[in-house]
Structure 1
Amino acid sequence: MTSLREPVEAMSVGHPMYSQTYPCEPSTAEIGRELVRGVLGVWHLDGLADRAALIVTELIATASRHTPCPEIRLTVGRPSATRLRVGVVDREPARLPTLSQAADDDESGRGLLLVDAVADRWGYDLHGSGRRPWGKEAWAKLRTGGGE
């Protein structure tokens, strides 16, 4: 596992992206927040750190609560100069993330509502062939500034 004490290299050309595999468990959220904050610091996007950290926390919580996968892959990318994309990949394509309403006295079930509230867009992509996908990525996008 990569430590955040190791330098994170930002790419100067193309569309930079960082990804790392972690155990699929709730405690991974803390590591995920550190990773996101570190990468955003390298990319000089510290102003998005709180929102991105909340998003990654909720996506990791959703994966760890609703999939039996032993591992997840956290991704942080810049698909364009004005977009940040944070995602969590798991190997459970049959359990898709859905927005649901939690009752007032429910102690959980609001994660994707939070993601929906702070992200500019969110969704999921299936990975693998159309008939037999091997996994999915739940993702959220944030504007980094500028046009688009």
Structure 2
Amino acid sequence: MIHQACMSRKPWELPFLAEPQETAGIRNVIRTHLRAWGLGEQVEAAQLCASELVANVINHVGVGTPTTLAVSMSGTYLRIEVHDPDTRALPTLLQAGPDSEGGRGMALVDAVADRWGVQLRADRKVTWCEIATGLMSADGHSGGPRVTRAEAMLALYEAARLPRAATPSLLSVAMAEEVAIDVIADLLHWLRAHGRDADEVLDQAQTHFEAETETEVYA
């Protein structure tokens, strides 16, 4: 069977100097990591929160401040932290007017994130926020019932390929990918054996998949 803890999401950190030109790189790094974690739906919110937390350091602590971005899972929530060395300049949630040029940073974080706060440590301040992922567990998948059905099918398929005396073992994601390729190849053989156009079926499946994923993005 496939191990239900199927997505390794190890905490990571990125030290940098708090400068405006660093923001684009930070957004790119977040996008890359979250897509690798299977959390594509959280990318935009995470990028906005990280950008605003970094801007808060630039505006209220100073340009060039040594800063660290830390991203991890807090249960089933995505946690974003920005560490800086100033324990005096605390982020504040302000009610910015429509004509205000500033003061919207933490208001945006408050609107996008499910919760946020500040931790003071001996040598630094940690401003954090958490975004709900909808996962069942911190290392679970976010694909919904279709992914659950696919995992069950792959587990059965792998068991059928094993010698009778062998005991099915837990499949890693990499191993499951190899099994999935074999499943697809065997289905193409089955289609051809029954007089069906395998390429046409693949095109239909791809079109169906893209339509469903586009609906998920804009839902």
How high is the TM-score relative to the length of structure 2? 0.56
Higher helix share: 2
Choose the corresponding residue for 2:127, options 112, 116, 138. 138
Equivalent residue, structure 1, for 2:88? 94
Equivalent residue, structure 1, for 2:61? 67
Which string of whole-angstrom CA distances, capped at 9 and with x for unpartnered residues, describes residues 30-61 of structure 1? Answer: 11111111110111000000000000110010
**Counterparts of residues 1-148 of structure 1 (less than 5 Å):** 12=8, 16-68=10-62, 70-80=65-75, 82-128=76-122, 134-146=123-135
CA drift at 1:104:
2.3
In 2, the alpha carbon distance for the partners of 1:144 and 1:108 equals 29
Structure 2 residues without counterparts, runs of 5 or longer? 1-6, 138-219
Q: What secondary structure does 1:63 align onto?
A: helix
Structure 1 residues without counterparts, runs of 5 or longer? 1-10, 129-133
**Paired AA for residue 40 in structure 1:** L
Q: Is the 8 A contact 1:86 1:140 kept in 2?
A: yes
Number of aligned residue pairs: give it: 130
Q: What secondary structure does 1:27 align onto?
A: helix
Q: What secondary structure does 2:20 align onto?
A: coil
Higher strand share: 1
**Paired AA for residue 48 in structure 1:** Q
State the structure with more CA Rg. 2
CA drift at 1:147:
5.4
CA drift at 1:108:
1.6
In 2, the alpha carbon distance for the partners of 1:40 and 1:49 equals 6
**Paired AA for residue 115 in structure 1:** V
CA RMSD of aligned residues (A): 1.7
**Paired AA for residue 22 in structure 1:** F
How high is the TM-score relative to the length of structure 1? 0.81
Q: Is the 8 A contact 2:57 2:65 kept in 1?
A: no
| Runs of 4+ with >2 A deviation | none
